[in-house]
């Protein structure tokens, strides 16, 4: 049994942000109290050995749930696999991750969904929930067998990495979502507007001499998908929202009662296109980094709930791929191990976002939207828990990362504020930054 003493507990499911003692036993949160005596704890332990942790100056919150991770298995295990990705997850404070379907082959059948789920269980770190494709082969045409994939354990459906260009196929998928009850996750990007663009179109792309992707490449599809969700009543989730216009469109759609949720990635909350240099392929991401105004809109959207949740879009690539010239390097940032610390350091510490909102947006909000357990520390719930030390600082060092990927903009930089203990169903899986 674990006894976390005098720790600051953030539990969005109970609107709680206060010092407490927390007991973890038998895979569950056993008790939360404003003070426990040694005697009471020993009685509750019923003979089990008790390890007590001094929680003063530290935070405890529900394990984070990331609805957008690329784990690359099957097919691209040189970038990441389910074991390395789920170890990276718990090192970064995530106890549940949803695995995107754009693997090789893509996850478009029940057998493949079951493969991802079982590989996740075998790995035994974070809970790994598969996302199935919306269309067969991720070709944007015929719908995949979503009911069948749901029976195999799919948590959502997405052609992420690609947009569904055909509006009728998108409309049908939202009709289908009413049968499965699961969200359709949309990667909003108009292919023709995006063209061969490498970064956001604007002053910075002109300066760097790179082809640009206009902000409208995202927003026109956001508008389309919101209208289709409104018409069909299907459950829509918008991935990696990155523009002011998209935030405005979502805000207005929510006022009309459209069944939509949206996520924002840490890198879009932290970085802007103006900071990009021609060698910064680690920051080459899709959708691309936007303007300072976009960044402000995203933070405001997250604060007021227009953007429901944070998600990493962990997109591992090999070092040789990212060492190519900017225009030839693949899109994506590997972020499971740094995302929470980056958000703490760049957004919470400067007062842009409260830690309470960050935890709600990264645990309870995804749990509710995707119908998952988690996001709560109520006694009796499975103990997916993070102990976070706001003072702990660490240089992001290639030798320490447990992900196979090194494509992070924080490599060689020091971040402050890290998860120092992580439990999955009461089992300690990370201690003092080492995955057990």
**Active centre residues (catalytic):** 313
Instruction: Choose among ligand DOR, Zn ion, none what residue 389 binds, the Cβ cut-off being 5 to 8 Å by kind.
Output: none
Q: Which of 150, 187, 237, 404 binds ligand DOR (CB under 6 A)?
A: 187
Helix (H) or strand (E) holding 117: helix 110-123
Q: Which of 72, 91, 150, 187 binds Zn ion (CB under 5 A)?
A: 187
Give 20 or 187: the residue with its C-beta nearer to ligand DOR.
Answer: 187
Q: Is the peptide bond before 163 cis (omega within 30 degrees of 0)?
A: no
Minimal distance, residue 194 CB to Zn ion, in Å: 12
**DSSP per residue over 161-180, as a string?**
TS----HHHHHHHHHHHHHH
Say if strands 94-99 and 127-132 run parallel, antiparallel, or are unpaired: parallel
Candidate segments 24-32, 156-164, 176-184, 215-223, binder of Zn ion by CB under 5 A = 156-164
How far apart, in Å, are the Cα atoms of 169 and each of 163, 172, 174?
11, 5, 9
- Between CA 432 and CA 436 the distance in angstroms is 10
User: What is the number of other CB atoms lying within 10 angstroms of the CB of residue 126?
Assistant: 31
Residue 160 sits in the site that holds Zn ion (CB under 5 A)? yes
Minimal distance, residue 348 CB to ligand DOR, in Å: 24
Instruction: Choose among Zn ion, ligand DOR, none what residue 159 binds, the Cβ cut-off being 5 to 8 Å by kind.
Output: none
Report the DSSP beta bridge partners of residue 11.
Answer: 16
Give 205 or 265: the residue with its C-beta nearer to Zn ion.
Answer: 265
Minimal distance, residue 366 CB to ligand DOR, in Å: 18
Token pair, residue 17, equals 């942000």
Print burial letters for 72-108: b (CB count within 10 Å at least 16), e (below 16): bbbebbebbbbbbbbbbbbbbbbbbbbbbbbbeebbb
Determine phi and psi for 71, rounding to 5 degrees: -105, -10
Minimal distance, residue 426 CB to Zn ion, in Å: 34
Minimal distance, residue 210 CB to Zn ion, in Å: 20
Give 331 or 392: the residue with its C-beta nearer to ligand DOR.
Answer: 331
Q: Is the peptide bond before 74 cis (omega within 30 degrees of 0)?
A: yes
Q: Could you give the string, one character per residue 157-176, with x where binding to ligand DOR holds by CB under 6 A and - elsewhere? A: ---xx---------------
Q: Which residues contact residue 168 at a Cβ distance below 8 angstroms, ignoring those fewer than 6 apart?
A: none
Enumerate residues 90-149 that contact ligand DOR by CB under 6 A: 102
Candidate segments 2-10, 49-57, 157-165, 376-384, binder of Zn ion by CB under 5 A = 157-165
DSSP assigned state of 433 = T
Nearest alpha-carbon partner for 237 in 270, 269, 259, 215 = 259
Residue 72 sits in the site that holds Zn ion (CB under 5 A)? no
DSSP alpha helix (H) spans, 238-381:
244-255, 266-270, 292-304, 319-322, 339-343, 355-359, 365-370
Minimal distance, residue 352 CB to ligand DOR, in Å: 23
Give 198 or 291: the residue with its C-beta nearer to ligand DOR.
Answer: 198
Residue 377 sits in the site that holds ligand DOR (CB under 6 A)? no
Q: Cα angle vertex 373, ends 175, 72, to 5°?
A: 70
Enumerate residues 214-243 that contact Zn ion by CB under 5 A: 239
Give 313 or 360: the residue with its C-beta nearer to Zn ion.
Answer: 313
User: Using CB under 6 A as the criterion, which residues of the chain lie in contact with ligand DOR when the complex forms?
Assistant: 70, 102, 160-161, 187, 285-286, 313, 315, 331-332
């Amino acid at each position: 049994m674990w006894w976390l003493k005098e720790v600051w507990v953030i539990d969005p499911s109970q609107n709680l942000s206060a010092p407490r003692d927390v007991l973890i036993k038998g895979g569950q949160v056993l008790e939360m109290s404003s003070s426990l005596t040694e005697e009471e704890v020993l009685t509750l332990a019923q003979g089990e050995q008790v390890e007590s942790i001094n929680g003063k100056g530290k935070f405890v919150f529900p394990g984070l749930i990331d609805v957008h991770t690329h784990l690359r298995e099957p097919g691209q295990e040189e970038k990441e696999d389910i074991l390395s990705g789920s170890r990276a997850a718990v090192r970064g404070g995530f106890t549940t991750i949803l695995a995107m379907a754009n693997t090789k082959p893509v996850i478009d059948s029940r057998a493949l969904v079951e493969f991802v789920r079982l590989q996740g269980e075998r790995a035994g770190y974070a809970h790994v929930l598969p996302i199935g494709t919306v269309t067969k082969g991720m070709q944007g045409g015929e719908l995949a067998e979503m009911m069948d994939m749901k029976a195999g354990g799919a948590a959502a459906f997405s052609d992420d990495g690609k947009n569904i260009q055909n509006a009728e196929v998108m409309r049908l998928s939202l009709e289908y979502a009413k049968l499965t009850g699961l969200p359709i996750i949309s990667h909003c990007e108009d292919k023709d507007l995006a063209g061969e663009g490498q970064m956001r179109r604007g002053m910075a792309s002109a300066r760097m001499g790179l082809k640009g992707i206009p902000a409208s490449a995202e927003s026109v599809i956001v508008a389309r998908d919101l209208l289709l969700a409104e018409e069909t009543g299907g459950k829509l989730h918008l991935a990696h929202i990155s523009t002011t216009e998209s935030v405005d469109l979502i805000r207005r759609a929510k006022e009309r009662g459209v069944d939509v949720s949206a996520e924002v990635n840490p890198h879009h909350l932290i970085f802007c296109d103006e900071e990009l240099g021609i060698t910064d392929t680690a920051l080459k991401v899709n959708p691309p980094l936007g303007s300072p105004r976009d960044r402000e809109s995203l933070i405001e959207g997250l604060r007021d709930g227009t953007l429901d949740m944070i998600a990493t879009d962990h997109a591992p690539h090999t070092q040789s791929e990212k060492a190519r010239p900017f225009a030839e390097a693949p899109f994506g940032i590997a972020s499971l191990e740094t995302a929470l610390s980056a958000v703490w350091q760049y957004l919470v510490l400067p007062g842009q976002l409260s830690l309470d909102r960050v935890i709600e947006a990264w645990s309870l909000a995804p749990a509710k939207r995707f119908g998952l357990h988690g996001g709560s520390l109520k006694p009796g719930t499975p103990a997916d828990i993070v102990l976070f030390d706001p003072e702990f600082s660490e240089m992001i060092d290639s030798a320490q990362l447990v992900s196979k990927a090194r494509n992070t903009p924080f490599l060689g930089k020091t971040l402050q504020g890290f998860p120092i203990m992580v439990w999955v169903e009461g089992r300690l899986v990370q201690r003092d930054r080492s995955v057990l």
